[in-house]
Amino acid sequence: MIYSMTGYAAVARDLPSGALTLELRSVNHRYLDFQVRMPEDLRSLEPALREAVAAQMQRGKVECRINYAARGAAASSALNLELVQRLADWERQVQDVLPEARGLSVGEVLRWEGVLDSPSASAEELRAAVLELLQQALTEFAAARAREGDKLRAFLLQRVEQIEALRAATAPRIPVATAAFEAKLVARFNEVLQQPDNERLHQEIALYASRIDVDEELSRLGAHLEEVRRILAKGGAVGKRLDFLMQELNREANTLGSKAADTEISRASIDAKLLIEQMREQIQNLE
């Protein structure tokens, strides 16, 4: 399996005290760059978060966002009846001394500290919930990156087949180009001499044939394409190795173009370089 460095996952959990959300997103990068945004009271978790992400990814710019929203009093608070009764007793005692004193309103009673007991998560409970949520997010994150990796693998293999087809079509062009050159050379000799100089003719043809011989380049091109297939089949962290192979493929395609004996071979070289560039751009997204 191969993984893209581009991925996204978002998970959430409802706690008695509030709502916890965790979001992971990543893009391609030369090395692993982990950034986290979260409440300051959870900052002590950053090393554990970094370690968990590093265990799954070797390269990529990863951003982690953690939010915790405590529940409002109306949604989760319980009324402290004991304190309400105590406030009522205090109100009667005050009015016995000060009969003109205004009584407490319901709103004032509810705003009194301690009248509404709101459940709150302890620091340990919250940290444990974050770490559990992170594992869930990492599972979804890996699945998303694997799906993208499968798409990239299919894309690369398709380009490999296209380059292989160009390579196969190029090899038969060399004898054709050599024969065309020989006919052209014979015609020139006939124009200048009544009797062609066979020895000189053979030398020129041999020199031309050696100059346009691309058998070695085509062989290396085929070997590099086979290596791309092997790496994609093996899986794992393949980005750097494939990026190096793209440089080697491009070198052979350039040499093929410089030795082009006819327009068909020149066109094949250009087409191959375009396909290699397409592959190289997509490989930048592979871990």
Instruction: For 215-225, write each residue's pLDDT tens digit.
Output: 778 888 999 99
Tokens representing 277 are 């560039």
Same domain for 155 and 254, yes or no, is: yes
The per-residue pLDDT for range 166-175, each reduced to its tens digit, is 988 887 777 7
The per-residue pLDDT for range 175-199, each reduced to its tens digit, is 776 666 666 666 666 655 555 556 6
Same domain for 194 and 151, yes or no, is: yes
Same domain for 92 and 57, yes or no, is: no
Q: Contacts for 34-40 with beta carbons within 8 Å, 24 or more apart?
A: 34/62, 34/64, 35/61, 35/62, 35/63, 35/64, 36/63, 36/64, 36/65, 36/66, 37/63, 37/64, 37/65, 37/66, 38/64, 38/65, 38/66, 38/67, 38/130, 39/66, 39/67, 39/68
Domain housing 251: 147-283
Q: Determine the average pLDDT of the residues in 194-206.
A: 60
Same domain for 46 and 85, yes or no, is: no
Same domain for 91 and 181, yes or no, is: no
Predicted local distance difference test score (pLDDT) of residue 213: 62
CB 155 within 8 A of CB 275: no
User: pTM above the 0.75 mark?
Assistant: no
Same domain for 129 and 24, yes or no, is: yes
Number of domains in the chain: 3
